[in-house]
Amino acid sequence: MAINNMTSTRRGALLTTLGAVLAPWSSRLAQAQTASATASWNKAAFEAKTVDAALKALGLPRAVESKELQVMADELSENGAKVPVSLSWTAAGVRRLILLVDKNPAPLSAVFELSDALEPRLAWPVKIAQSGDVLAVAVLADGRVISARREVRVTLGGCAVDDGSAAARPSPAPEATRIRAQISGGGAVVRMLLNHEMESGQRKDASGKNLAAWHITELQASHNGRPVWAAQWGGSVSRNPLLQFTLKSAKAGDKIGLSWVDSRGAKRSDEAGIAS
């Protein structure tokens, strides 16, 4: 990753390390143009049936709860298919964020690899099958693993039986991601609306058969072509999710991009300019 005007040796070393972390994700998305879209997706972790099994598949120990990490969500949600969740942190050097929903059939929802370009907050909606805890885990540059949780009660679970419409839906060509980015203070607030069914594979049709899984598996966001975060997603991210984050340093006219691949091999790359 080329960095111009780097005056601090220490900062240069940190960014070099970050480049090593994000480079594999970038190459995976590029390779997906010609290879299987799910080749690098952590199947074992995302199909694990318990929180402990998912963390073990990610190579992580049980985390220590800390006030340096927060999960924010409404205590009561009427619709478990779309529960807005945001993660924020005060801990320095957060390199990986993991979100799990403990009562879901497959608890692991998302894994994000982060750069220092982000303000300490990420938000997106998830599916919650039944009332329980939403758990966040953060891996820090100093090796610490911390966690936070939030109990969320749902009236209607996010894995309810389909009304029959899903089986009739075709698999259309991927639609463009709607990217809106606007200068705010010294940075830019970025909102990305992804058009995707995000079928988990846990719901059943009217005859009792499981609907086939079909969801985004890998994503990467960029600022002027440089990675700012990369992620792996499971099927518990909500349909047509709205993802929001803030860049620390940006100016009007800069380009924000998003690339993704899904479990059927579909792929999409979109870009938009930052508005003043």
Burial class (CB in 10 A: 0-12, 13-18, 19+), 2: exposed
9-273 homologous superfamily: SoxY domain (2.60.40.2470)
Enter the tokens of residue 276. 């003043």
For the chain, the farthest-separated pair of C-alpha atoms sits apart, in whole angstroms, at 64
Structure tokens at 189: 């607030």
**Residue whose structure tokens are 């320095």:** 92
Which backbone phi and psi does 212 adopt, to 5 degrees? -65, 140
Q: Do residues 39 and 32 lie in contact, with contact meaning Cβ atoms separated by under 8 Å?
A: yes
SS3 at position 51: helix
Residues 133-179: tens digit of each pLDDT: 999 999 999 999 999 999 999 987 655 544 444 444 555 677 899 99
Domains of the chain, by residue range, sit at 9-273
pLDDT tens by residue, 182-231: 999 889 999 999 999 998 776 666 677 777 888 999 999 999 999 999 99
**27: three-class secondary structure by DSSP:** helix
pTM (2 decimals)?
Answer: 0.81
